[in-house]
Amino acid sequence: MKVALIGVGQAGGNVTERLAQFDADMGFGAVQGALAINSAEADLHSLEFVDTLLIGADRVNGHGVGADNELGAEIMQADIQQVVNALDGRVTSRADAIFVVAGLGGGTGSGGSPALVHHLQQIYDVPVYALGILPGRNEGALYQANAGRSLKTLAREADSTLLIDNDSWHEQGESVEDAFDRINGKIAQRVGLLFASGEAVDGVGESVVDSSEVINTFRAGGISVLGYASEIAAEEASENLRTVMSVSRQALLTGTSLPDATRADAALLVIAGKPEAVPRKGVEKARRWLEEETDSMQVRGGDFPLESDRLGALVLLGGAERSSRLDEFMERAREAKRAQEDEGDREDPADALTDDRLEGLF
């Protein structure tokens, strides 16, 4: 699946950087172009693997929007032509999809990404997806409220929103800096493998997943969720039947980017590993199990040839049902909104995925 990546804000830029680096290091060739956009100039200086663009210089002088996502949306809208010009040559006819990557708690990312997705939908005839990162419980009330409003708008504007909860991959005792670095690495590995599905790699699998199957899974719309797990593999495929089932179960039940999300309109199972180590019967059995667990008849499955001593299972859920973790987050967003004295009559972010109006951010 060939993609163009656009990171918006600090977190979006950092994740886009890691994705581009992972794709280059693995030699997948899935990332066709990558651009990081921010209103804070200092946050762009550390990025080496992506092109960068500063927006809003006339409004905030390169100092960022200070977690004001309405200002972030305004700046993106005001400088949208500058952004479109920067995308020239980076979003090409080879791209199967565009991914807008953003942390949903800050200002530029949470405000600018929905505005950008809205505009890209009017320009390009390929799917425009969002990769949205929810703030952790300890990241402050303003970030919770920002993310609630941003998610509402993104879920409506994007063809699908791949949601990642920071808390799902955070380990106790980690410093904030170490946690973000490790989480960004996990995002890059998992999403990078998803992008690489169907791309030309060494080895030929028995039933290789192609980009159309990824896109068809995303076509369910709404919220998408990604799960992953891996284990050491035996050399012979016949010895890996249980391993395939084990990693598939872990990927869905304990390894997803949004915990407790197990039911969906569509799903995709990708088993990655050496072709000679992947048991065809095991993949089909795991696919049928996933069909039952997700309560979906649209479950696709296949393998992805990868030189590794491990077998990995990647599970993509499209049109995922509201999970208890998402409900818990929306409740935090609602409480954060109530705690803000200046919120006035703004609409409730807990209405996230049901309100069809555009007043969320723009």
* Residues annotated in a binding site for GTP: 10-14, 107-109, 139, 166, 184
- Which residue matches tokens 């200092």? 42
User: What's the farthest any 2 CA atoms get from each other in the chain?
Assistant: 64
The tally of CA atoms less than 13 A away on the side-chain side of residue 349 is 32
Binding residues: 10-14, 107-109, 139, 166, 184
Query: At residue 129, what are phi and psi to the nearest 5 degrees?
Result: -105, 160
Q: Residue 250 to residues 142, 184, 247, 313, 329: CA-CA distances in angstroms?
A: 33, 20, 5, 8, 23
